[in-house]
Chains A and B, each alone.
Chain A
Amino acid sequence: MTEILSGAGEFLSQNSAAVFSWMTLVLRYVLTALALIVVWRTCKSLLDTEDDMEQWGMLSLPNGAKIPLNHWENIIGRSKTSDAYIEYPTLSRSHAAVIRDDKGSWHVHDLGSKSGVKVNGKEIAGRAPLKNGDILNLGGVELVFVTADAAAVSMQEKERARQQKQRRRETGLHPAGTLVYLTAFQVALGLQLCIAQDEALLPAVPLSFILLIGIMWLCYLTTRLLRRSAFEVETIAFFLCTIGLAVTASAEPDRLLRQIGFLAAGVCLYFLVGWFIRDLDRAVRLRWPIALFGLVMLGTTLVFSDAVLGAKNWLSIGGVSFQPSEFVKIAFVFAGAATLDRLFARRNLILFIAYSGACVMTLALMGDFGTALVFFVAYLLISFIRSGDLATVFLSVGGAGFAGFLAATLKPEVASRFLNWGHAWQAPNAGGYQQVRAMSAAASGGLFGIGAGNGWLKTVFAADTDMVFGMVCEELGLLTAAAAVFALFMTAFHVIRSSRSARSTFYVIGASAAVSILLFQLILNVFGSVDILPFTGVTFPFVSRGGSSLIASWGLLAFIKAVDTRRGASFVLKTPKRIAKQEARRSKNRAASDRRVKKPAPPEQPEPPEIQETEPDDYDSWFLE
């Protein structure tokens, strides 16, 4: 027996090159198949979800009809796109908003209606609190407002749980199953990278992949402990991170453990941001301080950093270097997001425009035009979602085009990138140097790659960051590279779909802005590296090597989770059942304290003061149409 083993060992050591080459031959196909399975399962799970609405309250009409309130922020009006649509001539198109805050208190807002809003017969000015059973009078239409009680929520939740279980049985897609495939992908990839090592095996290669698998399952376990079931978006992120780790292992293996550290930090930031925006009131209250902090960081970078390759975008504090512009993306999303009541305030929009301008200008001064462009696209999306006004968007694009033209004429390095664009093959050793190498390496890889760790593109400058798409194509093949692009692409559809049932516009804007930043970076990175767009040198989210970008991308991911209202799906949203329980406890406490004092409770209903900024004269009717 030992003879056979030692004989086999001898055979292996003598023919290791041949054995390894056969292993690589097979692993290439295995890896591609696993990548496609992971992405297919994840996307199917996102697509299979049926729209199911939460229900937070109800409006009863005099004729007995009942209109459910599916969001925390509901508009009542004559317009068909209102959340509660009532066809009655005296109603304005968007007459009033019924808004619930994080603590469960409801308010009604008059949206500048012609015929006014009455609560229990009393005319209101601007806004007024709303309790269960109150009678709303909108332009002569009387509605009874009913909040969803705990029992109803509980029933509703049970029904949704049953449906979800049913669906999962039918489709057979459990997130853990997908993760098993992803783990297989990671193991195979780690194995391939180990055998691709020329000389002595670096222990960091297997170790980093083991740690990656550990972090991923720990993240999943945490989600399960929080009694949440959805893991698609995280699976996509971990899939991309796995590819990114393979790229790092191939190009700069001595940075592997650092990269794992960044991944751990990113996952922590993801939970932190998720926890932070879970409390909508807190997020709304603190969003401007966060936004301001971001801008100050950008300004500090501009003043204190030294230019690296023409861009002053690195900041070093206490020996730790990072790119503040990556983190400011999160601050920017906070600045742009707003709850429905604030969307009506013009002051709010003007502040946001000014803030965006300041960010983009600072980035342009830093020479980081790629990131400036990313911010600008996020700005366009946010302003469209806020205003619904395409004209403003077109005007902005025109203005930015003019500014870009000026920048290009003033900055020769920007102009040269535009001049080389589309002509990379005519200057393969000058302006098109990186792009033609990316394309050549990509073509060598075919559909299945030449094997992780076997490429040569890694020897070209910025291969594992700006040209990472070329490197993935070369080493892992076009299919896996396209699967990576497609996986991130699918998050857009997830957000579009979930936004229809989201609780608050704050979450809709946050998730859309986060996705737009991730996708636009992907567009600039992928198409810039293969000469379809000018080469700008931004990162491929989650895939490009580097700390700031990876950590910030995880932070942005948390916003995507905030629109996912599927039952028990996202840890960022409290379950309706839990909210109902909390409310019940709160009102019981209140009643008990009332009894102890033995006198009528003073009207010290907590009124968040910041809501007072929305005076009726601030309302913009253009928003409503």
Chain B
Amino acid sequence: MKRVGGRAAALIVLAVVILGGMSLYILRFLTNGRDWVSFASNKTVYSGGVLKVGTILDRDGQALSQVSGGSRVYADDELVRKATLHVLGDPGGNIGTGALSAFAPRLMGYNVLTGAYSRTGNGKTLSLTIDADVCAAAYKALGGSRGAVGVVNYKSGQILCMVSSPSFDPMNIPDLTGEKYEGVYLNRFLSATYPPGSVFKLVTLAAAVENIPDLNDRVFHCDGGITVGGDYVACTKKHGDLSIEDALAVSCNSAFGELALELGAETLADYAARFGLTESFEIDGIKTATGSFKNAAPNTSSLAWSGIGQYEDMVCPAAILRFVSAVANGGNAVDMTLIKDKGLASLLPPGSSRLLGKQTAEKLATMMNYNVYKTYGQDNYPGLELYAKTGTAEVGGGKEPHAWFAGFITNEDAPLAFVVIVENGGSGSRTAGAVANKVLQAAIKESEK
């Protein structure tokens, strides 16, 4: 009897299965609950796939998206609605990086203890760092062109402006088929990659500053291009003899092609990676697109092109913004954020990562300021203490090149870094520079309020 009775202990196997299974379930509940709860069929917080709780405000308290009368509505002004669409996300949840999707758990007031329960059933209010008026100015400045604009305070990491075009009015959703709205659900600032063109010369320059001791004493000579291994790397014109400052200011392909050949693909790839241009990073948990840099063989035109932002180089606008904000901030990139009120976490200083050395950053900044003085024209940017670099990225196929403008201003009360990309916009300084000026003027005005 004792022996048979003892065998009832075999039930322990079932007990262990239950314990193990419950432990696994509770572990997943704690770690994945945030994702589970943000499932669009979760009718506690979604209605017809649209988040039915939570209010989103801009940094000045303007309502960007809220629930009214049981349905989700956006800002009152149509221009603001279009300008902030990609920040917020569309009602259908197609823009996965939008706040309505990415910050859904916050809007529900989700936490592990009380789940998505809220007594009133209205969820929480979330204040963003976004300024609706600056976004509207940026969207207007893009004037219907495809592209993206990003502005960040490089001291606090707060993103003031994040606009992607094309956009649409989420309160009156048009027919989104057809070429005009192709890729409309993509937030081009976060999720697209483009050839960087001459903006990448900042990377080659940083590598040269740190690896070529006599860089300042060198004289570069431009005959309208260089020949490498039988191939021709063209420049925009014959620049003649140039110092490194002038080479950057006129964005000379010959000079930077030579530097690229001298530095080699490994060094360039190393710097691109160090500056976060070939990696993805997170903004409050939202992942940015991953850029790429392909190592070309030594002494080839491809290597020269890769050093001037062509060949296979691809970058995400958000990564460029992070890089220039690091240059502005003495080499230290403060973690970007979209959320203004972080509760107790806002008492802590924001996190940051060092992308480049302080001296290198200062050298780069000096030369970026010289660009404005020498080429872009301070008169075009009234009142801005501007440091910048243009890019005109060839895309082939007979299309106009993409226009880039990236940099920062050091105005008191407005320590802002920016990036502008206009697809097929032509010349960087003319098209993208003009957009940047309008956006920054709007931002200065807002900061003076």
**Interface positions of A (Cβ within 8 A of B):** 21-22, 24-25, 28, 70-75, 81-83, 340, 343, 377, 381, 384-386, 388, 428, 436-437, 439-451, 455-456, 459, 474, 477-478, 482, 485, 489, 492-493, 495-496, 499-502, 504-505, 508-509, 511-512, 515-516, 519-520, 522-523, 526-527, 530, 532-533
Contacts and interface: CB of A to CB of B under 8 A. Distances in A.
B18 A478 contact: no
A441 B42 contact: yes
B52 to A, nearest CB: 12
B46 to A, nearest CB: 9
Nearest to A433: B41
18 contacts: A21-B121, A81-B2, A381-B11, A385-B4, A385-B10, A436-B39, A440-B36, A440-B42, A443-B37, A459-B43, A478-B26, A485-B18, A489-B15, A502-B1, A515-B11, A519-B18, A522-B18, A532-B24
A450 B115 CA distance: 8
Given A21-B120, A519-B11, A508 B4 contact: yes
Contact of B11 (A428, A485, A495): A495
Closest 7 interchain pairs by CB? Answer: A446-B115, A456-B43, A499-B8, A443-B36, A443-B33, A71-B1, A444-B116
Given A21-B119, A443-B34, A450-B116, 18 more contacts: A21-B120, A22-B119, A75-B1, A81-B3, A340-B1, A439-B36, A440-B41, A441-B44, A444-B42, A444-B45, A450-B44, A482-B22, A492-B11, A492-B12, A496-B9, A512-B10, A523-B17, A523-B21
B173 interface: no
A446 B113 contact: yes
B8 A495 contact: yes
A459 B47 CA distance: 14
Contacts of A439: 32, 36
A388 B117 contact: no
B7 A388 contact: yes
Nearest to B41: A437
Contacts of A505: 1, 4-5
Contacts of A492: 11-12, 14-15
A403 B8 CA distance: 27
Given A450-B115, A530-B25, A381 B10 contact: yes
A501 B45 CA distance: 54
Contacts of A493: 15
Contacts of B33: 443
A523 B119 CA distance: 33
A137 B327 CA distance: 100
B116 A446 contact: yes
Nearest to B8: A499
Contacts of A516: 11, 14
Contacts of B6: 81, 499-500
Contacts of A448: 113-115, 117
Nearest to A438: B36
Given A340-B1, A526-B21, A512 B42 contact: no
Contact of B21 (A441, A502, A515, A527): A527
A444 B117 contact: yes
B232 interface: no
B219 interface: no
Nearest to B2: A83
Contact of B114 (A442, A446, A515): A446
> Which of B10, B24, B37, B113 has the largest number of chain A CB atoms within 10 A?
B10
Contacts of A455: 44
A335 B279 CA distance: 66
Nearest to A459: B43
A447 B12 CA distance: 27
Nearest to A448: B114
Contacts of B22: 482, 485, 526
A345 to B, nearest CB: 14
B2 A496 contact: no
B134 to A, nearest CB: 36
A214 B303 CA distance: 86
A489 B37 CA distance: 28
B112 interface: yes
B111 interface: yes
B9 to A, nearest CB: 5
A625 to B, nearest CB: 10
Contacts of B45: 444
A499 B2 CA distance: 8
A447 B3 contact: no
B1 A532 contact: no
Nearest to B4: A505
Contact of A508 (B8, B43, B115): B8
A489 B111 CA distance: 28
A25 B10 CA distance: 43
Given A445-B115, A512-B8, A526-B21, A440 B39 contact: yes
Contacts of A75: 1-3
Contacts of B32: 439, 443
A198 to B, nearest CB: 13
A444 B18 contact: no
A605 to B, nearest CB: 24
B29 interface: yes
Contacts of A442: 29, 36
A27 to B, nearest CB: 12
Contact of A478 (B29, B39, B111): B29
Contact of B26 (A343, A451, A482, A511): A482
Contacts of A428: 39, 41
Contacts of B11: 381, 492, 495-496, 512, 515-516, 519
Contacts of B14: 377, 492, 515-516, 519-520, 523
